[in-house]
Chains A and B, each alone.
Chain A
Amino acid sequence: MSKNTEIKRHRQERMLNFGIVIVSLLAALIIGALLFLIAKGNPFKAYAVMFTKPFTSTFGMTEILVRAAPLMFVGLGIAIAFRSGILNIGAEGQILMGAIAGAAVALAFPDMPKIILLPMVFLASFIGGALWGGIAGWMRSYLNVNEILSTVMLNYIAIQVYMFFIRGPLIDPKEVSYGTGVPQTAVFSKNAWLTRLIPGTRLHTGIFIAIVLAVLVYILLWKTTIGYRMRAVGIEPKAARAAGMNVKAYLLLAMLLSGGFAGMAGAIEITGIHHRAMESISAGYGFSGIVVALFGGLHPLGIIPSSALFGLLIVGSDMMQRAVNVPASIILSIQGLVILSLVSSQNFLTNPRFKEKILKIFDSKSKTRNLKKGGRA
């Protein structure tokens, strides 16, 4: 095989990979349509509303980005962990720990100028999430504890710890004095608010922070020696170890970063949307982030569009709920299906037999096309 055809094949393979990802999304949506039928909803109408209605209003379009921002943070974190060979399922808990740490800083320094306070809040959230992720990372590295189980358990623990703080030490004094007792903190001073971009909507600058960080993560993973090591550890720990890398330390680092990014998703929500820490701020971003990361090919630049897509799905499902009367929670099961079909499709990507078949079809098509053009086949 000549060099040119090899390179052509390389390109075809990339297209094939992309095609399979799209096909697996469609497969999930088709099975999802059955779920709509079971839930007494018209799937055509439901999908039509989900995918188009958000685009019909400024509110809808801005909401997509509002949802995409935390998804991107979580997705980036999960991609860092997965690339380093550690499956972080604990973003949900890490978001909460990030939120509570950020909230504590925002409440402690209300008079700090915005330019200092906001970065401090984000840093605190990063540290909060990183520590929470770090527990699982440390246990995986040094005690050989399966990180999936430990992160799942830490999720349940995080919810309680979070609730403990917003019910107890950090509760809004007004809630106590009025006797209402709603578990939430006081509203932050305006110095801890992300700037709103379009009046009347919730769109804030968080989305730009997320995109900048996506680029930074790309540089970290592919352009630096640290990223090189993290990916090496993720692909083949034995080889990484033989090459002199400290596998355990990089697994831990990956979990610290991964948790830190999830923690910053918490910061985005408290500084951008609610301006306080309150119950159920995460809205399932921890799990949706897994779908975002996988769908984005675990690549930061793929995660940007991927988080927009799932942002659309979440906003769309809220609108769908009103239009078709099927609870928005159905989107959770559709995301589950997307995960199942995505990981199943990996088999086709790595199965040489299947690949060869598809590439042959490519070849025969391009041949006939060339013949039609009267060109050289």
Chain B
Amino acid sequence: MIQEFIVGIILGGIPLSVSLLLAGLGEMFTQRSGVFNLGVEGIMMLSAFIGFFVVYTIGSPFLGIIAAMAGGALMGLLMGLVSITFKASQGISGIGLFMFGWGLSGTLFRVYVGGVTTIKGINDIYIPVLSNIPIIGPILFSQNPLVYVAYLLVPVASWLLFKTSWGLKVRAVGTTPAAADTVGVSVVKIRYQSLVIGGVMAGLAGAYLSIAQAHLFADNITAGRGFIAVALVYFGRWKPAGIMGGALLFSMAHSFQRLIQVYGINFPYEIAVIIPYILVIVVLAFTWKSQSLGPLALGKPYDREFRG
């Protein structure tokens, strides 16, 4: 019984972790370059709709994902325009982007689709033989293809950040932009690139939600996952492995909460639902203090003439 319960949590948790992990890895690059993009939630919503809509009309999940990522990239550019070019306050800009994405995705859904409609999307794959192994089989070898993509991106992100000259530039720009600027690294360019990467990843995360996880689109489909992803970046100390750990922790909490309901354990539904959000707050309270390890220039627009 207990073993069944734990396996149930893990089985339910892994799919839930994907959108957090993807969006979190993207936001990691954004924050590492010094930009705090709170609009991830809005990007995810809009991309979830775009991905859903392409699959709904054309039927191709691949094109749906591409379109969602392109939409995310555009949203990243918009955030860049506001926060890098116009040097606006990043916190409030992110909220603006969130409202923009939320309102637009809901509107377009009502105009072009109308009501709840399911799509085929991307289904789980079962690797022959291996998926039959008890416990490990279902957990490791019968997941959605995007699950494998997301987890493969963890080492890729790590390599990109720590082993390439581009990653070095991102880290420098987010910590001491003036130093990068004076050796010829374009702070603006690197920050735009990072925001676009963040947008693309949030786009993929959104597409996963609608195409692979839910097989439908609904208003407010993300339910705060974008914001949780932002918080995860702090929790993971701006490192891919840490973010992965965080994504797993939260999705397991979420899965636990769902399982409680499935098992009919007597526990108020509303209280169960808030467990992951409370966990975010608690975790923030414990991890925020050591912010000195993170990108020092986070949230500060760079202006060569007013370097001071």
Chains A and B directly touch (beta carbon < 8 Å): yes
Interface residues of A in 314-371 (CB under 8 A from B): 326-327, 329-340, 343-347
Residues from chain A with a CB closer than 8 A to the CB of B307 are: none
Complex alpha-carbon distance, A145 and B95, angstroms: 18
With A39-B107, A148-B91 in contact, is A153–B281 under 8 Å at CB?
Answer: yes
Query: Complex Cα distance A343/B39, Å?
Result: 14
B95 touches A149 (CB 8 A): no
Indicate whether A152 reaches chain B with its CB closer than 8 angstroms: yes
> B108, A339: Cβ atoms under 8 Å?
no
| Contact (A343, B104) CB under 8 Å given A149-B227, A150-B281, A156-B223 | no
CB-CB nearest in chain B for A41: B111
- Docked Cα-Cα span, A87 to B38, in Å, equals 13
Within the complex, the shortest CB–CB distance from B262 to chain A, in Å, comes to: 18
Q: Are B88 and A347 in contact (CB under 8 A)?
A: yes
Residues of A within 8 A of B88 (CB): 340, 343-344, 346-347
Q: Quick one: which of A145, A156, A161, A287 contacts B99, CB cutoff 8 A?
A: A287
Contacts of B111 in A (CB 8 A): 39-40, 326-327
Residue of B nearest to A351 (CB): B87
Q: Does any Cβ of B come within 8 Å of A110's Cβ?
A: no
Please tell me if A139 contacts chain B, counting CB pairs below 8 Å. Answer: yes
* B284: A residues at CB distance < 8 A: 139, 145-146, 149-150
| CB < 8 Å neighbour of A290 from B92, B103, B107, B270 | B92
Mark out the residues of chain A between 262 and 293 whose CB falls within 8 Å of any chain B CB in the assembled complex.
287, 290
Judge whether A235 is part of the interface by a CB distance below 8 angstroms: no
Q: Are A343 and B92 in contact (CB under 8 A)?
A: yes
Q: Which of A35, A89, A152, A168 contacts B104 (CB 8 A)?
A: A35
Q: Is the interface of A mostly helix, strand, loop or mixed?
A: helix
Nearest-neighbor residue (CB-CB) of A155 within chain B: B224
Contacts of A294 in B (CB 8 A): 92
Q: How far is the CB of B112 from chain A (nearest CB, A)?
A: 8
Instruction: Kindly identify which residue among B87, B95, B96, B285 contacts A337, using a CB–CB cutoff of 8 Å.
Output: B96
CB pair B99 A333 closer than 8 Å: yes
Cβ A326 vs Cβ B107 within 8 A: yes
Interchain CB contact under 8 A, A156 and B277: yes
A154-B99 contact, Cβ under 8 Å, with A39-B108, A160-B270: no
In contact, B102 and A340 (Cβ under 8 angstroms): no
Does A144 sit within 8 A of B, measured CB to CB? yes
Q: Known interface pairs A148-B38, A153-B277. Does A330 touch B92 (Cβ–Cβ under 8 Å)?
A: no
Determine the interface band of chain A, counting residues with CB < 8 A from chain B.
35 or more
Residue of A whose beta carbon sits closest to that of B95: A89
Q: Interface size (B, Cβ < 8 Å)? A: 50
A157 within 8 A of B: yes
Contact (Cβ within 8 A) A335 B270: no
Contacts of B103 in A (CB 8 A): 329-336
- CB distance B288 to A145 under 8 Å? yes
Cβ contact of B274, chosen from A143, A145, A156, A337, cutoff 8 A: A156
Could you mark each residue 172-196 of chain A with 1 if its beta carbon is under 8 Å from any beta carbon of chain B, else 0?
0000000000000000000000000
Which A residues lie within 8 Å of B38 (CB)?
Answer: 148
Q: Of A89, A152, A329, A340, which contacts B82 at CB under 8 A?
A: A340
Among residues of B, the one whose C-beta sits closest to the C-beta of A162 is: B270
Please report the C-alpha to C-alpha distance between residue A35 and residue B224 in the assembled complex, in whole angstroms.
24
Cβ of B273 under 8 Å from chain A? yes
Q: Which of A43-89 contact B (CB under 8 A)?
A: 87, 89
Q: Complex: how many Å from CA A129 to CA B86?
A: 34
* Pairs A-B, 3 closest by C-beta atoms: A333-B103, A332-B103, A336-B100
Which residues of A approach B to under 8 Å, CB–CB? 35, 38-40, 87, 89, 139, 143-146, 148-150, 152-154, 156-157, 160-161, 163-164, 167-168, 287, 290, 294, 326-327, 329-340, 343-347
Supply 21 A–B pairs (Cβ within 8 Å), ascending by A.
A35-B104, A146-B234, A148-B91, A150-B284, A152-B224, A153-B224, A156-B277, A326-B107, A327-B107, A330-B107, A332-B102, A333-B100, A333-B101, A334-B103, A336-B103, A340-B78, A340-B88, A340-B93, A343-B88, A344-B93, A346-B89
